[in-house]
Copies of this chain bind each other. A is one copy, B any other.
């Protein structure tokens, strides 16, 4: 191991991350929506760096950047994404890409190591145009019709137009070559405060949680807010408020240790100050990595709705509109990250699920996959103040490079 840690360069990792931060800078973060000028410049920046790691660079027909190695031996795929949410943080995405680049620089140029790290930047992980379009294209589940239909949710620009504007139109879309990779490794900021609040440095991701989403609709009777007595009202908005509170009061006794639930949107109809809402709707989301927990909570939701309909003044209907698919991370890969943490992070690691979605869940559908997290200061995410201490960034990089080396060495040994 000594030779790897000797040649790994933490200062180079920080310099690269800061170079990407300077492209599309916004306050201390960045603003790089998918296919924006700074995003495209970041893709070009990466493509120019890849040869330093002995990789041939390509940007494909959906904006994925892929660096491929001609070196003999096993290949590990590693990466993340370069676009950002609007006015968001500098590390969400670039961290995993630069860790992969650093691992490739250290490993691919070392003739003593059998095998190579190949680097990927997946396009549009942040979902400006769709859901994981880049990584899904690579695993083969995006059709040309899907691309025809995709539009930027902010500007309305079609994906076809954006690809044409970027000069990517007509290029082939690269797809995974069956059997080429021993697996996929991705690093990311935690986006929560679990590591920081426990003084830990590395999160060994056990699974990426599934997202279940529900439309909960309340039907009352629209009426005049001045002339309708309180005793005869059927106020759908009030029924919704009571349901929200009832969820929050009853879920803790039924949920799993890391279940989270969120009411992100509420609509009252017609939404006028002088009209009692006749209809109300909430978008409700539950995340967990255990479908049994979800089944229990969903049954409880339906029970609450039936009870509210029977005993209250309004009808309540719960409709599932998105079904989660938790992705288990490969356990041998988790072991490798943990072992590398023992060496490079004083053993300050913990196994934990990822509450956020990542490209690793898409890659996991076709190959072994794993993720490691570094701490987020204050747990802040999707905001320009998102940050990680420089020392923690370097520790994470060291563990990442070490993990890549271990996975390739194990693959050689297993052959």
- Chain A: residues with CB nearer than 8 A to chain B? 190-194, 209, 211, 213, 222-230, 232, 235, 237-238, 240-242, 244-245, 248, 252, 258-268, 271-277, 283, 285, 287, 354-357, 379-383
Say yes or no: B264 contacts A226, CB within 8 Å: no
Given contacts A262-B274, A274-B285, 5 further A-B contacts (CB under 8 A): A226-B260, A226-B356, A228-B379, A230-B259, A230-B260
Say yes or no: A273 contacts B283, CB within 8 Å: yes
**Inside 8 A of A235's CB, which chain B residues have their CB?**
262-263
17 contacts between A and B (CB under 8 A): A192-B227, A192-B229, A194-B229, A223-B381, A224-B382, A225-B285, A228-B379, A228-B381, A238-B244, A241-B245, A241-B248, A262-B275, A262-B276, A264-B273, A266-B267, A266-B268, A274-B285
Q: Which residue from chain B places its CB closest to the CB of A224 in the assembled complex?
A: B381
With A229-B193, A357-B226 as contacts: A275 and B266 at CB distance below 8 Å: no
Q: Which residue from chain B places its CB closest to the CB of A215 in the assembled complex?
A: B273
Q: Which residue from chain B places its CB closest to the CB of A228 in the assembled complex?
A: B192
**Inside 8 A of A283's CB, which chain B residues have their CB?**
273
**Inside 8 A of A275's CB, which chain B residues have their CB?**
262, 264, 382
Min Cβ gap A351→B in Å is 16
Complex: how many Å from CA A403 to CA B357?
72
Q: Which residue from chain B places its CB closest to the CB of A255 in the assembled complex?
A: B230
**Inside 8 A of A222's CB, which chain B residues have their CB?**
382-383
**Inside 8 A of A193's CB, which chain B residues have their CB?**
228-229, 232
Complex: how many Å from CA A225 to CA B262?
6
**Inside 8 A of A354's CB, which chain B residues have their CB?**
226-227
**Inside 8 A of A262's CB, which chain B residues have their CB?**
225, 235, 273-276
Complex: how many Å from CA A355 to CA B274?
11
Complex: how many Å from CA A272 to CA B382?
13
Say yes or no: B232 contacts A209, CB within 8 Å: no
Select which of B223, B266, B356, B357 is within 8 A of A379 by beta carbon. B223
Say yes or no: A271 contacts B264, CB within 8 Å: yes
With A226-B287, A355-B226 as contacts: A264 and B277 at CB distance below 8 Å: yes
**Inside 8 A of A225's CB, which chain B residues have their CB?**
260, 262, 264, 285, 287
Q: Which of A224, A266, A380 has the most CB of B within 10 A?
A: A224
Q: Which residue from chain B places its CB closest to the CB of A260 in the assembled complex?
A: B230
Complex: how many Å from CA A248 to CA B240?
13
Q: Which residue from chain B places its CB closest to the CB of A265 in the assembled complex?
A: B271
Q: Which residue from chain B places its CB closest to the CB of A283 in the assembled complex?
A: B273
**Inside 8 A of A240's CB, which chain B residues have their CB?**
241
**Inside 8 A of A242's CB, which chain B residues have their CB?**
241, 245
Say yes or no: A356 contacts B190, CB within 8 Å: no
Say yes or no: A226 contacts B211, CB within 8 Å: yes
**Inside 8 A of A260's CB, which chain B residues have their CB?**
225-226, 228-230
With A226-B356, A232-B379, A379-B228 as contacts: A273 and B285 at CB distance below 8 Å: yes
